Structure 1
């Protein structure tokens, strides 16, 4: 076996970067997974999550990893996106285009700063979609903002591994600058309170939708974009665990109506 001849890095920003999760959704070419693993290891990231990858594991993925075999070996495969995002207090999705209902949009540099700031509260995720079609609107609902790489308009298509390389480079640069004291101090959102993890937010959104139907505010047969707009609203607020619990308590009492208020048997 050939010796590792790569130079050893000093002052590794492993704490911040260790909290960043790269999530690939339904990747169709296993070689791209290997390329992503290599890009991640180049920049000091190690948490790779795969949601229903096609044709994986494969020799092609291993060959493309080119020295990042340990990262591939640790990669976790999930049956659904929510499981892959479990525990994450901030999720950003990558997209080459905006949708009918616009998401907040970040440049790669702004996204790196955003994720590293949120990482002070817990794991964060950067989400990448299918090579041909990207992320669906339902998958983007799990994200608080979109990241778009400003490519040349005449040829904007980026290989999946190349897109991951661009964004992980920005993450590494931001982490190194923060470690050298050149960046603004990293503070957790919500005044130091821990941001609500992905699964708690999804339970809140399900509770909110159910309550709005009970109150006849939301017609399930004609929902339009109401829930998507409400997701955007609460994403901007970065609610903490305690704040989500308060909101769910309000929803529970609102659904009971006037008759149920103050009734100890129902409380």
Structure 2
């Protein structure tokens, strides 16, 4: 689906925004960029802001009119920052992504356009009327003006999320073994039992736990740590702390004994 979505930027004033939009597209796996009568393009600022998305810029299509940019599209969705009181189907970014997906599901050859207007004024009413759907990003009304590249990022992100969900691909990094960089493998039952034994012994040594009157302390601590779903690396850290606590406590005990000799 993503390769069937073209991002259309209309009459962009600042070339840096074109580069920023290209970078946002590449981040989310989109490749087709169409520029309608840009003020300055090509331009070094566009290349600098693209930050590695130079292939998107190199393959960008530059046209004179919106009609040329939309040629061959089955569905056109235009962004609108203001309520122009035009009775047109209005979608939020997530709904717009779903509309793109449904269009692609119905026809895998269908071309889809996401149209973005000028930085200072957006799309004109006449341009919006060429779109079957209008998209409104529900930003804070106290500060609702989004940078062009940011708006592209929001919509392309939602498109990617819809695609990942449809294709049942993960939307987060998989956990890795404890030997990996993050050490996110879960602790085993055996390692947890050794930890609880170590914790109990340490609490006894520092006089926090009276084995004659335990008052369910260990059961309560098991519930606390159980809710945390400790990882192997975390158990190792905690046991390291317990070991150093024992060393400190034993040194203090020896010192106390020496004072009473």
Same fold by TM-score, threshold 0.5 exceeded? yes
**Map of 2:60 onto structure 1:** 75
Output the CA distance in 1 between the equivalents of 2:146 and 2:169: 33
CA distance in 2, matches of 1:131, 1:103: 22
Inter-partner Cα distance in structure 2 for 1:19 and 1:117: 12
Q: Deviations over 1:168-195 (max 9, x none)?
A: 000000000000189xxxxxxxxxxxxx
Instruction: Give the secondary-structure state (helix, strand or coil) at the position aligned to 1:89.
Output: strand
Equivalent residue, structure 2, for 1:84: 69
Aligned-partner SS, 1:153: coil
Counterpart-to-counterpart distance in 1, 2:133 and 2:120: 21
Match of 2:37 in 1: 52
Residues 73-112 of structure 1 aligned to structure 2 (within 5 Å): 73-112=58-97
1:119 to partner: Cα distance: 2.5
Provide the secondary structure at the position in 2 that maps to 1:101.
coil
Query: CA contact under 8 A between 1:20 and 1:119: conserved in structure 2?
Result: no
Show structure 2 runs of 5+ residues with no match: 171-261
**Kindly tell me: are residues 162 and 181 of structure 1, through their superposed partners in 2, closer, same or farther at Cα, counting changes over 3 Å?**
closer
Residue 48 of structure 2 corresponds to residue 63 of structure 1: yes
Task: Tell me how far apart the structure 2 counterparts of residues 100 and 172 of structure 1 sit (CA, whole Å).
Answer: 30
Q: Are 1:139 and 2:124 counterparts? A: no
Report the 3-state secondary structure (helix = DSSP H, G, I; strand = E; otherwise coil) of the residue aligned with 2:77.
strand
Q: In the alignment, which residue of structure 2 is the partner of 1:118? A: 103
1:103-148 deviation line (CA, Å, top 9, x unaligned): 2110100000101211242100000000000001110111011101
User: For residues 100 and 112 of structure 1, what CA distance do their matches in structure 2 show?
Assistant: 23
SS in 2 for 1:90: strand
Give the root-mean-square deviation of aligned CA atoms: 1.2
TM-score (norm 1): 0.61
TM-score (norm 2): 0.63
Q: Distance in 1 between matches of 2:76 and 2:37?
A: 19
CA contact (8 A) 1:36 1:161 kept: yes
Match of 1:33 among 5, 9, 18: 18
In the comparison of the two structures, how many residue pairs are matched? 167
Q: Return structure 1 stretches of 4+ with deviation > 4 angstroms.
A: none
Q: Distance in 1 between matches of 2:138 and 2:86?
A: 20
Aligned-pair CA distance for 1:23: 0.2
* Whole-Å separation in 2 of the counterparts to 1:116 and 1:91: 13
Distance across 2 between alignment mates of 1:17 and 1:65: 19
Structure 2 counterparts to residues 215-254 of structure 1, below 5 A: none
Structure 2 SS opposite 1:126: strand
Structure with bigger helix share is: 2
User: Which residue does 1:162 correspond to in 2?
Assistant: 150
